[in-house]
Each structure stands twice: as structure tokens, then as C-alpha cells.
Amino acid sequence: MKKRLLSILCALTMVCSLAACGNSSEDTGKAEDKGADSETIRFAVAVPLTGDNAEQGMYVVNGCQMAIDEINAAGGVDGKKFEMVTYDDQASPNQSVTIAEKIVADPSIEFVIAHVNSGCLVAAQDTYISHGISVIGTVLSMDELSDYGWTNFLRMGLCNGDSAKILIDAVMEEETITKPAIFYANNANDLSACNLMVEYLEERYGFTDIPTETFNPETDKDYSAQIDKFKADGIDAVFLSCEYSPAALLAMQSHEKGFEPVFAGISNNNPKFIELGGEDVEGIYTVCGFDSTDEDPDIQEFIKKYEEEYGSLPNDCVSRPYDSIYAIADAYEKGATKDNLAEWMMENTDYEGTTMDFRFDGTCDDQLARTYILRVADGAFECITNKSLDELKAES
């Protein structure tokens, strides 16, 4: 995909890092009220920066920072530079409420990129709504978020249910499956995805009595009991609703026990999944919001720049925030304001990004969101197919 550059960015020369107006943190103290005449467009990023989910949070921060540096180096939006202030929500709903209260108390903050965990958003939304601040979700995937009718919220990617359908369809086409099961983390988001997987496997493919096994993502590292149950049930495919670390551990422990089903997960597109699992994750399917193997020069340039800056390959937790900031800049250039950003984008945004595109058609969900199905082959992800939300709807 080719990025439709903002007209104000057409004079882009050398991209440089503008630390002075690029990033700050909540620890720097309360910001002054810069008001409508400010020379910056200041926004918050509320994600986990400590704890087990910190890596995902930093991906979001890094993606935002890359976009900020490029836009600011090219002159900003109508001369205004983006400035990011980061908040650590610790992946905790209670902490997210506290963070939201800090954010809305700062009148210079125009919108929020939030959160990684859907439960954190649900907890904090009353605070955001009561102060009229737009919330842009670049990682949030729980289906139920679409049902609240929030007018201050945009989801920039596919929900779990749609991603799971595309994943299941791809696996069923590639493999011979007779007895599937689900392995899920015991939290609201992954339980929701588990239920949607079961429903789709039953309704679309006629499976019945699909076994499910769960675990506590905070404490459980030994999955012997779950593996033994899968083996006893004759399971030949395990669909995963959990993060990449337990998914890799499950594959490793399964192979140690001689259990070798097809594995396919909705949250395992992190390069460290392969690093952690090694040969044990060969052949495992997962989903991603963009295809890093795409030879499009804009995509390859994005990947190269990220690797040079951060020393690792980006996934969609990086690319989606990156393109989201550009889409937000495009919205500001065309008339959106702090007071109406999310609603304006719902009705007006039709933006072609570097790695993904955005159009909402009056909803909170990106109608152009595309899911890429990846499979681990020879120690790397390969793309085997992809499908957009529009295409999925057309098949229904």
C-alpha cells in the first residue's frame, strides 16, 4: 500500500528525532494548559510499561514515536508538532482509572491512544466519556467493545471474532481437522475469543462438544494437565486464545509429551514467539494486521527503519499505532478537532496508510482492517492468505 501523504508533509526531507517536542512521560509533572493556540498537538498513550505486558506497551509507544518523528520533521500539522506523553496503566483496570483521571485533568491532552487490555478501557471509559476525550484503540480486540455505542472510541483493527473466523477458515483449508479444541487464558478478552471460536467451529464446520482448557496467565507455566486431557480426547488441532509466551510454552511442552496437533493462535505474531519456541513452533499459524514479507517498498522501508531504531522486527502492535497517528494527522488537517476527533473520523476518514488502511463508515470499527494469516516456516513467519473485514462480511 502507498501512503497518501498529508499535503503539509509534501516537503519532507530528512527524518530526524525531535526529542524536545516528541515524547515525555507522566513523571515530568503536570503540563501547563497550552490551550487551542498551542504549538503542539499533545496526546497521551496509556499502555502497560511495566510487568508482563510491558513489551506490547512499548511496541505501541515505539510505533507512535516513529510517526511523530516523521511528521514533526516535515513541519507537523498546520505547523503544530505532535507531542506524546506516556502513562503506565500496568495492564490493571484499577490503575487505568487512575491514569484516565490524570489524563483528563490535563487540558493540553487532545486524545488518548489506549489501552492494550480491553478490560482496562472498559474500566476507564466513563472517565474519558465524561470529559469528552477521544480514545483510539490500536491493539484492543475484544468483540464486545463494538457493542457499547461509544462515540468517543475508534478501534483501528479487527476484533477477535473476525480474526478468529479468518484464522479458522485458513487452517481448515490447509489442514485436515477432525477434533479441534481451544486453549485460552483465563481473562475477559481471551474467554470472549474462546467462546467465539467455539461458536464458529460449531456453526460453520459442524463440530460438537469442543473441549476447552484454560490457565491463569499470571501464575501458570506448566500445562501438563491440559495437554494430557487433549491427548486423551484425541485432539488434532488446538486453537489458541492467549499471548505468545504461553502459546510457545504449550507447543514445547506438548512436543515433549509426544502430542503434535496443529496449533493456531490469534495473538502469536511476535518475533519473540519464534525466538522462544524455536523448532517447536514450526508450522504454527497465527494472525497479524500486516504482512512483513510484502515486497511493497514503503512497507520494507518502514520495517528497515524500525529495525535500525529498535533492533527487532515490527509486528502490528507497532505498525497500527504508526499508521493511526498518520490517519489522525490527516483528520486534523481536514478539520477534526480535540472536541470531535473520534466522531469526525467515524464519518469522514478514508485513509491509505503504509501498512494498513482506515475507513469506519459511521461505526467504531475499521471497515478496511485486514487480517493476514501467517505460518512459521524455517524460523520465520510466512504469509499464506489474507482477508479484510469487507470481504469477510461479503461471505457471510
Predicted TM-score of the model (pTM) = 0.85
Pick among 3.40.1280.30, 3.30.1360.80, 3.40.50.1370, 3.40.50.2300: CATH of 7-158+292-365? 3.40.50.2300
What phi-psi label fits residue 251: left (phi over 0), alpha (psi between -120 and 50 degrees) or beta?
A: alpha
Query: How does residue 53 score in pLDDT terms, banded at 50, 70 and 90?
Result: confident
Q: What is the pLDDT of residues 195-238, one digit of tens each?
A: 999 999 999 999 999 999 999 998 999 999 999 999 999 999 99
Question: What are the C-alpha distances in Å from 254 to residues 50, 83, 119, 226?
Answer: 30, 46, 30, 10
Domain segments of the chain as ranges = 7-158+292-365, 161-288+373-395
The answer to whether 56 touches 46, Cβ cutoff 8 Å, is no
In this chain, the answer to whether the domains covering 7-158+292-365 and 161-288+373-395 adopt an identical fold is yes
Query: How does residue 65 score in pLDDT terms, banded at 50, 70 and 90?
Result: very high
Which candidate, 299, 295, 340, 297, places its Cα nearest to that of 318?
Answer: 299
Q: Would you state the pLDDT for residue 13?
A: 36
pLDDT for residue 342 is more than 50: yes
The CATH code for residues 161-288+373-395 is 3.40.50.2300
Q: What is the pLDDT of residues 167-196, one digit of tens each?
A: 999 999 999 999 999 999 998 889 989 999
pLDDT for residue 152 is more than 90: yes
Q: Would you state the pLDDT for residue 220?
A: 96
347 vs 20 pLDDT, higher one:
347
**Mean pLDDT value across the chain:** 90
